[in-house]
Structure 1
Amino acid sequence: MTVTFSGMLLAPWVALTALLRQREAKVKEQATSFALERSEMARQALDARMRLLTAQAQPHFLFNTLANVQALVEVGSPRAPRLLESLTAYLRAAVPRIDGSASTLGQELELVRAYLELMQMRMPDRLSFALHSADGMALLPCPPMTLLTLVENAVQHGIDPSEEGGRIDVRAELLAGKAGRCRLTVSDTGVGLQSTGRGLGTGLAALRERLLWAYGGSATLELIEVEPHGVQAVIEFDSEPK
């Protein structure tokens, strides 16, 4: 009787404990599911935002390039056929990125080279350039239009306003002693910051926002005055986006 009575007293508590544990496990499972859903929604929102920012930038480059081509064709320049070849190469590199899809540093450098070749055809005596990339960097992820934004800014606000033109150097490197830290540098010998009031205009402000969305606070963008004249734009970021 004592055992039976003790069992009758303990049974409800045992059942209640099991029920509470089952409910606690279910709550944890639901919380995990909600966290995963929020994470996925945040990722989708980030992806949509990046695509929007890139889509806003892409037509700007394409229309400027087409205007440059049209100007030379209209005056019957003998450079027109070569210019159209350069335009084809540029569009071949640029069009796949219109949707803002993931890009690599190698693809960005390919796009920059095509753009600079196009600009060099427009002003052959006023623009020279060189691209330098460290080994193993071509496959690193890079937000679309990152380098091209810096290079076009250098052409439009540095080289174009200068009577003698200038040179643009593009460099991609891994920082020594900082694991996974990358640096992209675009240097020009144009008129400089003071001559044009050059700063973070619309294009560079949009680029800064794209970097923020892709890398959070780990990415930096800086413009540095170069002596005797010119500007150096420097981007640093981790090799893996957040």
Structure 2
Amino acid sequence: MSADASVAVAPAIGWRAWLRGLKPLTLGWVIGLAVVGAALLNPIFKPSFLELTGRTVFVALTSLLAFSAAGHWQPRGLPRQVPRWLVQSLALALAAPLATLVVYLVSTRGDFRAFVTNEARLFGFLWISVPAILVGLVLALGSLLREREAQARTLQLQLDLHQAELARQAVDARLALLTAQIEPHFLFNTLANVQALVETGSPRAPEVLRSLIAYLRAALPRLHEDGGLPALANELTLVRAYLELMHLRMPDRLQFTVQAEDGVETARFPAMALLTLVENAVRHGIDPAEDGGRIEVQARRAADGALLLRVTDTGVGMAATAAPGTGLANLRERLASVYGPAARLELAEVAPHGVCAEIRVPQAA
């Protein structure tokens, strides 16, 4: 496209925007006020009411067009410090008397001398042009105030949207931080347990390494997921691999079961969240217990459709362990970030000893 063609397009866009600004409701108000003005002036004018209405409507519409045009096309060379409303007001103040002058020149067939030498015509000129300027400026002021209010509302909505976006980014960053705090904890703790078995020359070392490979295959892809929440089936696979690994480390002290209700494995659930409870049960429940214990992992749906995940151990119980550490605190905060206040993580004692940890989160499907 040539430079000339580019220049020709710009005014067309401006004209279309200007015409779109002349809304039917605005035109109706202007014409209505012009008719009212003609009715008020009719007793003191010699021309018929119809002719007088034509004059007032012409002046009103010309003033409106000048006011609107000044808002779209600022005069060249005008300092930027001059506000747009001032330019529009000056345009209206000039357009009203000029339009009235055109009306009278038409009525005198272009005889300017006949206009200026006729006192009645000069009197009529003032009665039409001056009220047109005053009423037009009042209406223009109201229009500008409404425009400013609309701009203020738009800016407020944009600010609210920007703040909401910043809040969402903050939640995402916090969630990423919590995930980064949790995942290395499990990985390096498991590696430390495997290292202890390998260094002691245990004959179970090859089997342990195979289980470690299965665990890493289940865990490592989860660490880099950028999309939505993974399926619960992925988390259950990871939990089984971890418990198998721990069982090989202490075969006489740890027994476990992992049960999932039919259809529940397709539910979406944060990676590593269930593993947090399982690893906690091993470290703080089974490991300190002299005779070890059993861990049961259950996944099911409640009557209201909520997802229930329960990890029960028969270890030493909460009374014999230290206060909950950062793992559970981070998990609570992570669940709240994903599901909101409806998510719950509760711990309860199990008779005669042990702990039951339950996660309850809402599910859309």
Q: TM bucket by the smaller chain? A: 0.7 to 0.9
Q: Provide the residue aligned with 1:59 in structure 2.
A: 184
Do structure 1's residue 22 and structure 2's residue 119 form an aligned pair? no
Tell me which amino acid in the other structure corresponds to 1:170: V
Tell me which amino acid in the other structure corresponds to 1:153: N
Do structure 1's residue 10 and structure 2's residue 135 form an aligned pair? yes
> How far apart, in 1, do the equivalents of 2:188 and 2:168 lie?
31
Query: What are the within-5 Å matches in structure 2 for residues 29-48 of structure 1?
Result: 29-48=154-173
Between Structure 1 and Structure 2, the one with more strand by share is: 1
Q: Deviations over 1:163-212 (max 9, x none)?
A: 32221111122221x3x422211001112222x23442222122222223
SS at match of 2:237: helix
Between Structure 1 and Structure 2, the one with more helix by share is: 2
> How far apart, in 2, do the equivalents of 1:171 and 1:150 lie?
12
> How far apart, in 2, do the equivalents of 1:59 and 1:8 lie?
76
Q: Provide the residue aligned with 2:221 in structure 1.
A: 96
RMSD: 2.1
Q: Radius of gyration: which is bigger? A: 2
- 1:49 is displaced (CA, Å) by 0.8
| RCO higher in structure (CA 8 A, sep ≥6) | 1
> How far apart, in 2, do the equivalents of 1:143 and 1:8 lie?
68
Is the contact between residue 284 and residue 321 of structure 2 (CA under 8 Å) also seen in structure 1?
no
Match of 2:251 among 104, 119, 124: 124
SS at match of 2:265: coil
> How far apart, in 1, do the equivalents of 2:298 and 2:135 lie?
75
Q: TM-score by structure 2 length?
A: 0.60
Choose 9-18 or 224-233, whichever is displaced more: 9-18
Match of 2:281 among 141, 150, 154: 154
> How far apart, in 2, do the equivalents of 1:36 and 1:113 lie?
43
Is the contact between residue 50 and residue 100 of structure 1 (CA under 8 Å) also seen in structure 2?
no
Is the contact between residue 311 and residue 356 of structure 2 (CA under 8 Å) also seen in structure 1?
yes
Q: Provide the residue aligned with 1:107 in structure 2.
A: 234
Match of 2:343 among 219, 227, 242: 219
**Matched pairs, number:** 237
Tell me which amino acid in the other structure corresponds to 1:123: M
SS at match of 1:135: coil
Q: TM-score by structure 1 length?
A: 0.88
- 1:24 is displaced (CA, Å) by 2.2
Q: Provide the residue aligned with 2:292 in structure 1.
A: 165
Tell me which amino acid in the other structure corresponds to 1:52: L
SS at match of 2:156: helix
> How far apart, in 2, do the equivalents of 1:43 and 1:143 lie?
17
Q: Deviations over 1:79-101 (max 9, x none)?
A: 21121111111112222333575
> How far apart, in 1, do the equivalents of 2:163 and 2:211 lie?
45
Query: What are the within-5 Å matches in structure 2 for residues 142-221 of structure 1?
Result: 142-176=269-303, 178=304, 180-194=305-319, 196-221=320-345
> How far apart, in 1, do the equivalents of 2:342 and 2:137 lie?
56
Is the contact between residue 51 and residue 99 of structure 1 (CA under 8 Å) also seen in structure 2?
no
Question: Residue 174 and residue 198 in structure 1: after superposition, are their counterparts in 2 closer, same or farther (change >3 A)?
Answer: farther
| Greater than 6 Å deviation, 4+ residue runs | none
Structure 2 residue runs without a partner (length 5+)? 1-37, 42-55, 57-127
Question: Residue 35 and residue 147 in structure 1: after superposition, are their counterparts in 2 closer, same or farther (change >3 A)?
Answer: same
- 1:6 is displaced (CA, Å) by 4.7
SS at match of 1:227: coil
Do structure 1's residue 236 and structure 2's residue 360 form an aligned pair? yes
Question: Residue 136 and residue 18 in structure 1: after superposition, are their counterparts in 2 closer, same or farther (change >3 A)?
Answer: farther
> How far apart, in 2, do the equivalents of 1:144 and 1:36 lie?
30
Question: Residue 134 and residue 33 in structure 1: after superposition, are their counterparts in 2 closer, same or farther (change >3 A)?
Answer: farther
SS at match of 2:264: coil
SS at match of 2:338: helix
> How far apart, in 2, do the equivalents of 1:58 and 1:184 lie?
19
> How far apart, in 2, do the equivalents of 1:222 and 1:25 lie?
49
Q: Provide the residue aligned with 1:69 in structure 2.
A: 194
Is the contact between residue 100 and residue 144 of structure 1 (CA under 8 Å) also seen in structure 2?
no
